Amino acid sequence: MLKVISTKQVRKGMFIHELKGAWIDHPFWQKAFILEEASDLKKLQASSVKEVVIDIAKGLDVLEPDLAPAIEKPSEIKSTSIPVSTQETAVPPMRVSALEEQAQAKKIINASKKAVTSMFHEVRMGKAVNQQVAIKLVDDIAASVARNEGALISLVRLKNKDDYTYMHSVAVCALMVSLARELGLSEAEIRQAGMAGLLHDIGKAGISMGVLNKPGALTDEEFTLVKEHPQRGYVMLTQGQVTDEAALDVCLHHHEKVNGMGYPHQLKAEEISLFAKMGAVCDVYDAVTSNRPYKDGWEPGVSLQRMAQWSEHFDDTVFKAFVKSIGIYPIGSMVKLKSGRLAVVVDQSSTSLLSPIVKVFFTTKTKSRIPVEVLDLSKQNVQDSIVGHEDPALWGIHDIRDIWS
């Protein structure tokens, strides 16, 4: 039996059937879940969601008789299938600021670059993936993302064009870990997602770097060759005794689209696994935000806006969770404030996706630089707010990465 109750009446042990509000209004991705953690209860009651629907057949009822009318359970609820783990979901460690995490993130990125470059080289030579090295990389990346979800992800985006193939794997690993956390997956599943991200493009080890780093347009023959990397990677992993189903699946299917127009198997939405849907979003986001040999990357916020229009590519529920995982205004995004000033996002707020921490540096009124000021837009004493994304190029700003990094 379902009941509509106030969030003030919610307690641990209740089965939340539905959250009454827009997805950006609350910190939870899952539409239905049992509320087990005191921290989750605190998050819910601190959010702007005023009412929830509970299922008293699956969890606890309110402490006192509730006069809210019962509602009928819908006969069918369409949602993305999420693997239900029998393990406990991840308990995030103490969060630190992006600035505090940057030094450690840089060390991890440098170590990852060497390890992934070596991994690709060994695979090219016919050797198997060193799974112990890969596991250590995933553990280090996952730990950094847990401390601050944006620090490593934003820094790895600064890879140079020649390093793209290798560092793209590191970036997708981090993005997959962050997304898996947002989805509420278990620690084991988070590591699976990270490993899948790290190995998703291993098939490119079998393609000439001259083709991968070509500054101009690929020929039809070259494009066909590049499109073979999912199958090549799958064969490389299976021959190298990699047995993790998520890693194999994401490697083979991260270019599938929910409309069935992807490759290599033209799978449609219901045929694509959760991990492969996650891989598709993470792969594209890092690709479009990175500088490539043939084009410069898009600004992070602009990238999310454009990806949101590609509904035929991505699973909608997974994409929305992805946005929540990196922020509506990701670190490195340039935004315009209500005051007419321009700022770059330097960290996420723990209380609001719409009010990150920004570094103000430019005024549109005189079109000139101003003394840098850091503002936490979620604080009550800060009167400014974000109006929307801005393209740095339109304002002649070419050092946006130097400003925030």
* pLDDT tens sequence across 97-153: 998 999 999 999 999 999 999 999 999 999 999 999 999 999 999 999 999 989 999
Q: Which of 146, 168, 149, 401 is nearest to 287 (CA)?
A: 168
Residue 40 has pLDDT above 70, yes or no: yes
* pLDDT tens sequence across 168-204: 999 999 999 999 999 999 999 999 999 999 999 999 9
Q: Is residue 315 part of a domain?
A: yes
| Pair 331, 98: CB distance under 8 Å | yes
Residue 89 has pLDDT above 60, yes or no: no
For 16, 141, 308, 395, the CA distances from 88, given in Å and listed in that order, are: 18, 20, 32, 48
- 298 and 243: one domain? yes
- 65 and 109: one domain? no
Q: Is residue 92 part of a domain?
A: no
pLDDT at 79: 36
- 208 and 292: one domain? yes
pLDDT at 48: 73
- 61 and 108: one domain? no
Report percent pLDDT > 70 for the chain.
89
Q: Backbone phi, then psi, for 33, in 5-degree steps?
A: -165, 160
Q: Is residue 79 part of a domain?
A: no
Q: Is residue 82 part of a domain?
A: no
CA dist., res. 193 & res. 322, Å (int): 13
Residue 389 has pLDDT above 50, yes or no: yes
Residue 30 has pLDDT above 50, yes or no: yes
pLDDT at 61: 81
Q: Is residue 212 part of a domain?
A: yes
- 274 and 154: one domain? yes
Give the strand pairing for 15-20 and 51-55: antiparallel
- 260 and 117: one domain? yes
DSSP letter string over 144-203? Answer: HHHH-TTHHHHHHTT--GGGHHHHHHHHHHHHHHHHHHHTT-BHHHHHHHHHHHHHTTGG
**Sheet (strand 334-337) strand order:** 368-376, 357-363, 341-347, 334-337, 386-389
| Pair 47, 25: CB distance under 8 Å | yes
pLDDT at 282: 98
Report percent pLDDT > 90 for the chain.
63
pLDDT at 29: 59
pLDDT at 152: 95
- 273 and 387: one domain? no
Query: How many domains in the chain?
Result: 3
Domain stops at, among 267, 300, 326: 326
Q: What is the mean pLDDT of residues 217-225?
A: 93
* pLDDT tens sequence across 293-343: 878 888 898 899 999 999 899 999 999 999 999 999 999 999 999 999 999
Q: Is residue 161 part of a domain?
A: yes
361 versus 11: the higher-pLDDT residue is 361
- 369 and 321: one domain? no
- 58 and 102: one domain? no
Q: What is the mean pLDDT of the chain?
A: 87
pLDDT at 93: 64
Q: Is residue 363 part of a domain?
A: yes
- 283 and 150: one domain? yes
- 150 and 242: one domain? yes
Residue 400 has pLDDT above 60, yes or no: yes
Residue 86 has pLDDT above 70, yes or no: no
Q: Lowest-confidence range among 89-98, 236-245, 253-262, 277-286?
A: 89-98
Question: What CATH number corresponds to the domain at position 320?
Answer: 1.10.3210.10
| Pair 182, 153: CB distance under 8 Å | no
Q: What is the mean pLDDT of residues 80-106?
A: 67
pLDDT at 185: 94
- 193 and 278: one domain? yes
pLDDT at 90: 45
pLDDT at 25: 55
Q: Is residue 81 part of a domain?
A: no
Domain stops at, among 326, 357, 385: 326
Number of H helices, E strands in the chain: 14, 10
Domain stops at, among 326, 358, 383: 326
Residue 402 has pLDDT above 60, yes or no: yes
State which residues form the domain around 42.
2-71
Q: What is the mean pLDDT of residues 228-251?
A: 95
